[in-house]
Each structure stands twice: as C-alpha cells, then as structure tokens.
Amino acid sequence: MARARLVAGNWKMHGSRESNRALLDRLLQEIPGIKGVECAVCVPFPYLGQIAERLAGSAVAWGAQNVSEHAQGAYTGEVSAAMLAEFGCRYVIVGHSERRQLYGESDAQVAAKFAAAQRAGLVPILCVGETLAERDAGRTEQVVDRQLQQVLNLEGKDSVSKAVVAYEPVWAIGTGRTATPQQAQEVHGFLREKVLPETRILYGGSVKPQNAAAIFAMPDVDGGLVGGASLAAKEFLEILKA
C-alpha cells in the first residue's frame, strides 16, 4: 500500500517574525525541487497569520501544535479547531508528550481534541509514545496501544485513517537519542496492525539528516515529525530529501 510521505516540523515554542521569514524563504526556494514528500510546519499560534500569508498557494502546508477539545466558550487561553481552520491550518498536533507530561493531558482529553480537530476539517497528528521507564519495563506496546485505543474507541478506524499517527518515544524527543530503525519499525509494525493500511505513521524523536534515511526506509515509517532540526533550514531540507 503506497502511502503519501509526510515530514512535519514542530517548531515548539520557538521563532520570531524575523527568523520565521528567513526560514520560510529558504524552504519556499528549495521545496518545489524535492519530490515525493509533503512538507508541513506546525508553528506557535501567534505566527499562524504570518505563516498563512507566506505559505498560501505554496507546496508547504501548515498547522498548529495544540487545540482545544471545546468548540467555544469560557476557556480562557484556549484556541478552537474552527479558529485554526480560519487560518488555513491543515494539520494540528494532538497529544504531544510535552502536552501530556507538562500539562497533564489525559488519553481521553487527547481523543476529544482529535475529534474536535476532525470536526473542523483539520488533520490531527496524534502523538503516541512511551517513556524510558515504560520501555525498560517492557511496556512500550501496552502504552502506545492504550493511547491509540482511546482515539479508536471514540472515532473509529476510518477516522484515524484520515489522520496521521506519530510514534514519538519520549526518551528520544530533544535528547539526541534516536530509536534505531529496527526499534522504530517494531512499534510502527505494532501500530499498523491496529489501524487501516492507508494510515500514515510518522516517526519522531531526534530525527536528523544523519539518521533520517535509515529510519524512513523502514516499511511502516511514512515520514517524520521533526522538532529541533525543523528550525534550521539546511537540516530540515536534508531530512525532507531523505
């Protein structure tokens, strides 16, 4: 089953109007020459207007890093999926491990965010992944299964097949420590059995130009969710080429 490849950058809480402009200029110059992969950037909320203006009509899609599970109302500081759609977002990351760990997002809340995103026509990128302690305890499959199952129970396999799943081992995010291609494939293969064959499953966790090609060559890896390396045009472009 041929699945369209995707490499999405997660800028996290980085950027400025000026550095964004420089980064986007480089991407826009080079991305038309890179075939066979879709590129997206997931940026902080305040930059969505700038990004939408700059990327409109280009080959680069954009999105946000979080979304409220609520449609509207008295939720100070929150941003709804419909608001993201108004800014032309195609993607939104839900359940990033930093949201789960630092802001206490539960599996149920992540599933509700996933549903809210899809209702507004966005494509959720659902992150799942185990901590080092969970891996060491042999609980990797149990953890990612629990995180995915909550969404499957709420929305069903068909909905998940229109979304994107990202396997992001927590111990590999921002640590410089990457899963080996085999470790990634093992978990991707496990996840693949739970979803429809057309569901795209990305790998995330210290993806760099040096390791991207080997990881992306695995049969159940359909691209990457890239944090740190998506902030440097040269590195991000090399990963896209991989």
Select 10 or 118, whichever has its Cβ closest to ligand PEP.
10
**Does 143 engage in binding with ligand PEP (CB under 6 A)?**
no
- Judged by DSSP in three states, 93 sits in strand
3-class secondary structure per residue, 151-175: HHHHHCHHHHHHCEEEECCHHHCCC
Active-site pick, 96, 98, 188, 235: 96
Q: One of 155, 168, 188, 235 is an active-site residue; which one?
A: 168
Interaction between residue 49 and ligand PEP (CB under 6 A): no
Among 228, 235, 236, 237, binds ligand PEP (CB under 6 A): 228
Among 15, 63, 169, 205, binds ligand PEP (CB under 6 A): 205
* 235 is a site residue for ligand PEP (CB under 6 A): no
SS (H, E, C) 44-64: CHHHHHHHHHHHCCCCEEEEE
* Residue 235 falls in the annotated catalytic set: no
Biggest CA–CA distance in the chain, Å, is 48
Residue of 97, 102, 71 whose CA lies nearest to 84: 71
Provide the binding-site residues for ligand PEP, judged by CB under 6 A. 10, 12, 168, 173-174, 204-207, 225-229
List the catalytic residues: 96, 168
